[in-house]
Every structure is written in C-alpha cells, then in structure tokens.
Amino acid sequence: MQEMTSRQILDQLVSFPTVSRGSNLALIDWLEAYLASHGIESHRHWNEDRSKAALFAHVGPWVAGGVVLSGHSDVVPVDGQDWTSDPWVVTERDGRLYGRGTCDMKGYVALSIWALVQAHKRGVTRPLQLALSYDEEIGCTGAPPMIATMQQILPQASVAVIGEPSSMGLINGHKGGTGFHVHVKGYEVHSSLLPYGVSAIMEGARLIGWINAKNAEIQARPASAAAATFHPPFTTLHVGMISGGTAHNITAGDCRFAVEMRVVPDEDITALAAEFEAEAARLDAALKAVNPQAGVTLTRFFNVPGLKPETEGPAEALVRRLTGANAAGVVSYGTEAGQFQDAGYSAVICGPGDIAQAHQVDEYLELSEWQAGQRFMLALLEDLQ
C-alpha cells in the first residue's frame, strides 16, 4: 500500500466502527496488511471466540529495552447520540477533528502507526513497538493477554507510553478499579408472611449498607501522601443501578446491582475486594439458613490495577525529555498503563486530546492537540536514532 500520512491513517481508523460489543477484525486486517506492505511483520493475539484480536509489532534492532506505543482499538457506541456529522467519518471544522474515537483514542493510535512506519524506514538504534488492544472500554480485559503474548514473541521493551487523552500532559499515576455484578436470590412469599420468605431487595440493601459504611470508614482516615494527589483523595465504592422485585406485596425473588471500586494505588485492591466477597459470603450463608434456594452470587466484571508513580522511572524521563514537561499529574479513572506496569514495563500516560471529550456526542480532537501529538512522535523518532 502507498505510505499514508498520519491524518490519512486517522481517517481510515475512524471509518471502522469498532464498538466494543462488535468485532474489530476489519481494522486489524487493514492494519496488518498496511504494516506488511511496508515490510513490518505484526502478530495477533485472539480473543476466545476469535471475533476480536489485538495486534502488536516491533521495528528496529531485535533487542530488549525499546519503547512501546500502546492504544486500544475499541470505541464506545453512538446509540442515542444526535451527532452533527457522521461519527464514522473524520470531519474537520472550527479547528477540531470530529468523529468517534478521534480523541479516545484513534488519534494517538494513528500517530503511533505513522511513527512505527517512519522508524522502520529511517532505521533506529533503539526498538519501537506498537501494541493495539481490544475491549479496553469494557474493563481493560484485552490488554493482559496481549501483553503476555507480546512478552513471549518480542524482545521486552523497557518503556510503555499509553496514549489516553491527557492533553499531552504527563500522567504518572491512576487509581485501580474492580467491580462485581451482584445477584441476590430471594424466596417469594406474601409480604404478610415476611419472616418465612427472603426479600432479595431488603437483603441486598445490607450489602449496599456495608458499602456505605466502608466509604465512611475510608473517608474518615487521613489521606496518604499518594492518595492526596487524587480527586477525590481516597478510594471509593459505588452502586449506580439496582433492579428487582415483582410487586410491593411480594418478597422480592431477585435483586441485581453492580458495585465498582476505585482504589488509590498505594492501597491493596485485592484485599478490599476480598472484604466485600467475605461480606457477601456471610450474607449468602444467612439467606440459605432461611431457605436453601436463596443466596448471593458475585461475578467479577473488571479488574484493573492502579498505576503507581515511579521514582526516576525511565518512562517518565522519556516523556519529560520529549515534551519538556516539568510536572506530572494523576487521574482517577483506570487505563491499561497499570497492566503494563504490573507486567514489568515502566509506564506512563501521555496522549493528545481532552478526556472530557471521550464518549461524548460530537467527540472531537483539537487540531492543536493533534499537532502536539505529531511533534511528540517526531521527537521520539529523533530520540530513538
């Protein structure tokens, strides 16, 4: 294929409606062919039913110690959003590039693909790798198996730059997250016979009460130095939706809700999840004592480690060198950066765009941000020479 500009690559990427509920294979097929046409071999990691794939590639000397440019291929839906222009076509107007994923995060991915091809053409003395995951938007579930496969095939890079929108600022920390789908199974009787039944809603409320009490306990503690850099400066547990019950005069047969935990990186996310699991197990046993059909079932639906700031970390040093940044920040949302860090990479977040635009109707990337991202990639290519 003819070599494309970064903007042409962005147009191509946005044209693939890679919503997480569907397949991303059309994009992966195109990217694999595009890289191959420029002499770059790429590798896939498939999901279980082979409906999606991650893709990764390496250019430069076949040695350890390179840089990974990491992004995700999936985007959120546009259902119910009244877009001014076609969300699957990049539209430039008023100094902005509109389209689903331009900000989160196909803008960065396009720049990364361009930089990979340029690094291969120019020849670099330090390797550059590309890592493109799937299912980031539904819990960062695609990155860990991709990283494990990368480490089996490619030389281990030392630095990973995850290009989530940060207005090209240096982000060196974020909260971890985990969550459970909770199903409380009750036993239906007429409400006048309440002691002989199990109200799933009333029993589920006990778990929500535990969550409220845990939030109060956490917020009453003095914030650690690491927590104080976040907004809010503490771990949070949250229930956003609940459903269940048949009628006001029947003990509820079912209650369903989800709990999410956003944990500051110096706290033990596994221990907090285990506390909740233990509380659910106690309630499960109590309900079964009333009626063996009743109980509590937990299903973990995401688990994302936090990103911990690294003292004199090579990833932070690289981004400071390329951008001239003097300060670093943290964010309360989760990314794949913590997963790279857990796998042994020095990791930071730095990418074009404002996170406030992510997932929005008429999502856009400011042209000034796009240009800053282009300058970052040019500086990276010089650094790798």
Catalytic site positions: 74, 136
Neighbouring C-beta atoms of residue 210, cutoff 10 Å: 18
Whole-angstrom Cα Rg for the chain: 23
| Burial classification of residue 385, based on how many CB atoms lie within 10 Å of its CB (0-12 exposed, 13-18 middle, 19 or more buried) | exposed
- Per-residue three-class SS string for 298-339: EEEEEEECCECCCCCCHHHHHHHHHHCCCCCEEECCCCCHHH
Please count the other Cβ atoms lying within 10 Å of the Cβ belonging to residue 140.
Answer: 22
Cα–Cα dist 268/71, whole Å: 26
- Tokens linked to 47: 């999901």
E strand segments, 230-323: 236-244, 254-263, 295-304
Which residues share a beta bridge with 174?
A: 307, 331
Residue 38, burial from CB neighbour count under 10 angstroms (0-12, 13-18, 19+): middle
Residue with tokens 């590309």: 130
